[in-house]
Amino acid sequence: MNSSVDDVMARKNQIMKSAVGIDYDIFESGGIAFDYEKMMSEAGYSLEEMIRIQRDYAVGNTPVIELRNFTKVVRRLSAKGKGARIFIKDEAANPSGSFKARRAAISVYHAKKHGYKGVIAATSGNYGAAVASQAAMHGLKCIIVQECYDSHGRGQPEIIEKARKCEAYGAEVIQLTVGPELFYEFLKLLEITGYFNASLYTPFGIAGVETLGYEISRQFIEKEGRNPDVVVCTNAGGGNLTGTARGLIKAGAADTQIVGASVNLKGLHMASDSQFNRKSFTTGHTGFGIPFATFPDRSDVPRSAGRPLRYMDRYVTVNQGEVFYITEALAQIEGLERGPAGNTSLTAAFCLAREMDENEIILVQETEYTGAGKHVRPQLGFAKSMGVEVLVGDPADEVCGSNIILPEEPGMIKAIDLDMDNLRRKYIKNAIQHKDFELSEADLAFLAEDTKSTVAFVKEAVNEIRGKQ
């Protein structure tokens, strides 16, 4: 077939249908609404089956660890009676070193079950290692496509580390420069190979994370006699938060507050060649977190199963220097050396715990492995080589792409709340863009559910948006 960009992109729906095995058209209503729960059921596995599949491939049943020394520090910084107990769910104990083994376990199992010879994933992160690890266990071929370099051939230490990890599991890693060619190359490979699209955003990938939320509830009921009051999830593409929240709800923990946390990278564009290497975090940042929250269907499948606004109660940001500080603190006062993604939500939890009562519990729902390129020093060394200043001072003065400010003392670390209603309005604006028809009752109800709001809120937002157009 013709492999020009225009021709490949014109065949994208056909390619995706073959590579995922799901006909997304059957979920559509003809308007804005689609049947999300029917799509999720298309994964075809019950929660109990997914737990069994993951257990058979060494995934899940990871420990919960109380950070007693962190809690002591928090209480010294808090008003009397404040300072919640802080726990982490240590997902670094999974075979590939992150919670993404849960996503990969179901996707790769499904690919093997349905006769695919290999799997492909487009990711520069831990998911690639997870897919490669599970593919090795199942005897499948694996290709990982990465955005790795800028046009000068400079690659971030963390991305290069993850490529090494993927290759260690036997995967072929195809590295690209930053830009729009990623999706084109990904589609072309799917078509040429006939491999399964182990996308982060299919029902298989998101349903696999439900076991994490379910497991959290079961462990806390057994350990503490109750569910955690707050669960903090590092938010990027939204699948982490979505799957965890769905699992908690299925376990009966519907009252647990779900908080998303991202590194503030305001002002940096993720697809900009000149700005790509002026950030020190490759995931869990606002460059992914906000666009995917407000426009989830921007993913590599027609409808994303990761829909964080549907489940998120609160969304906060923290700065790069603050996360580096907490990463070092976790190693030095708790004896746990972990990578930056989970430490983003730990940084947020360190702040949020100060608002909470001493008898309350806040959980960071995942940690990730660390390695040569993920450590603080190579990250900061690379930042300096790119002309980013590394300073000690007040993190509130950090300017993304210009400096990284490590706090002088832990009391300076602040989690900044994002305006949830503003995010909801942005989502609604994206959903109704280029759609001039009258929204049906089903459309309004869907938008209310997908933004965790009300039909009245949606109607008001739609009238305001269309009144300005």
Asked which of 7-21, 197-211, 418-432 is least confident by mean pLDDT, the reply is 7-21
- The mean pLDDT of 200-215, rounded to a whole number, is 96
Average of pLDDT values for 144-171? 93
Give the separation between CA 149 and CA 376, rounded to whole angstroms.
Answer: 20
Cα separations (Å) of 296 from 426, 456, 469? 12, 22, 23
Mean pLDDT across the stretch 145-162? 92
Q: Are 250 and 210 in contact (CB under 8 A)?
A: yes
Residue 399 has pLDDT above 90, yes or no: yes
The pLDDT, as a whole number, for residue 73 is 98
Residues forming beta bridges with residue 364, ordered by sequence position: 88, 232
Mean pLDDT, all residues of the chain: 95
Decide the pairing of beta strands 172-177 and 230-234: unpaired
Q: Is 80 exceeded by the pLDDT of residue 145? A: yes
- Which residues touch 369 (CB under 8 Å, ≥6 apart)? 92, 96, 97, 98, 126, 338, 339
Span 229-285, pLDDT tens digits:
999 999 999 999 999 999 999 999 999 999 999 999 999 887 788 999 999 998 899
Q: How confident is the model at residue 469 (pLDDT cuts 50, 70, 90)?
A: low
How many C-alpha atoms does 319 have within 13 Å on its Cβ side?
A: 24
Rounded CA separation 83/354 (Å): 5
Ramachandran quadrant class, 377 (left: phi over 0; alpha: psi -120 to 50; beta: rest): alpha
Write out pLDDT tens, residues 279-335. 999 889 999 999 999 999 988 888 999 999 999 999 999 999 999 999 999 999 999
Check pLDDT > 90 for residue 136. Answer: yes
pLDDT (0 to 100) of residue 467:
87
Q: What pLDDT digit, counting tens, does each position of 162-202 carry?
A: 999 999 999 999 999 988 788 899 999 999 999 999 999 99
pLDDT average, residue stretch 213-219:
98
End-to-end Cα, the chain, rounded Å: 42
pLDDT at 42: 86
Q: What is the pLDDT of residue 436?
A: 87
Selected residue with higher pLDDT from 447 and 341: 447
- DSSP class of residue 38 equals H
Highest mean pLDDT among 13-22, 38-47, 151-160, 231-240: 231-240
Q: Locate the DSSP E strands across 264-369.
A: 314-318, 361-364
